Amino acid sequence: MEKKEGKTMPLLGDKFPEMKVATTKGVLELPEHFKGKWFVLFSHPADFTPVCTTEFVAFQKRYDQFKELNCELIGLSVDQVFAHMKWEEWIKDNMDVEIEFPIIADTGNVAETMGLIHPGKGTNTVRAVFVVDPESKIRTILYYPQELGRNMDEVVRVVKALQISDEKKVAMPANWPENEIVNDHVIVPPASNTEMIKKRKEQEEAGEIECFDWWLCHKKSE
């Protein structure tokens, strides 16, 4: 796969790069393997490390929530398959948690393509999260330093929020669904012309939406 000059990682809206990867569930072709589904690719620095272990347990405990959103998980680090498998075995024996999603055993090619190599940390990968939609487009990218474990509830929230945004053509407020101003409501796109301002007022009068002003309107998500 050709890398674009000066581009070290995919950007929001880019199609997820096509790649064949070795995983704990066999060889998979991405993004084709998850065609028609959302998926979350997340990288971790290394197997048999404390923060990463807590993250994998946390992801697995929310795996059913992801699947309810038609979303799959796939992990990655620059470790060999047998290391992933032994680590999964350790987690099962010591944490009583069975890791059900695949983990990519990367030689470094995937990490470099996705911009995951941590500066100054050798071949270790950063804690990155890529949320990819059913059209194989990258919709969200999150990066964390090695010393900071991720909040998996936030990743679930991102997937759910993007799906509602796509379906309803709305935006999501800060801390949704527990926003300090509009609670669990979603944001109606602001009017861009005088005709739309008039329509917003009519919608408000009909009880379809609530507005603080013509440019800040909200409604129930359902």
> Are 49 and 129 members of one domain?
yes
Q: Is residue 121 part of a domain?
A: yes
Domain count, the chain: 2
Q: Just list the catalytic residues.
A: 52
Q: What CA–CA distances, in Å, run from 81 to 29, 31, 146, 207?
A: 16, 20, 22, 57
What's 3's DSSP letter? P
pLDDT value of position 220: 94
Could you tell me the CA-to-CA distances from 3 to 123, 135, 170, 193 in Å, in that order? 19, 21, 34, 41
Asked if 23 and 129 sit in the same domain, the reply is yes
Identify the pLDDT of residue 8. 64
Per-residue pLDDT at 4: 43
Is residue 42 in a domain? yes
Are 137 and 55 in a shared domain?
yes
Question: Roughly how many angstroms between the first and final C-alpha of the chain, as a whole number?
Answer: 42
> Which residue ranges in the chain fall short of pLDDT 70?
1-8, 118-124
Residue 37's H or E segment, with its range, is: none
Among 88, 119, 91, 101, which Cα is nearest to 40's? Answer: 101
Instruction: Please indicate, yes or no, if residue 161 is contained in any of the structural domains.
Output: no
| pTM listed for this prediction | 0.90
What is the reported pLDDT for 122?
53
Same domain, 36 and 129: yes
pLDDT of residue 112: 83
Range of the domain at 184: 169-222
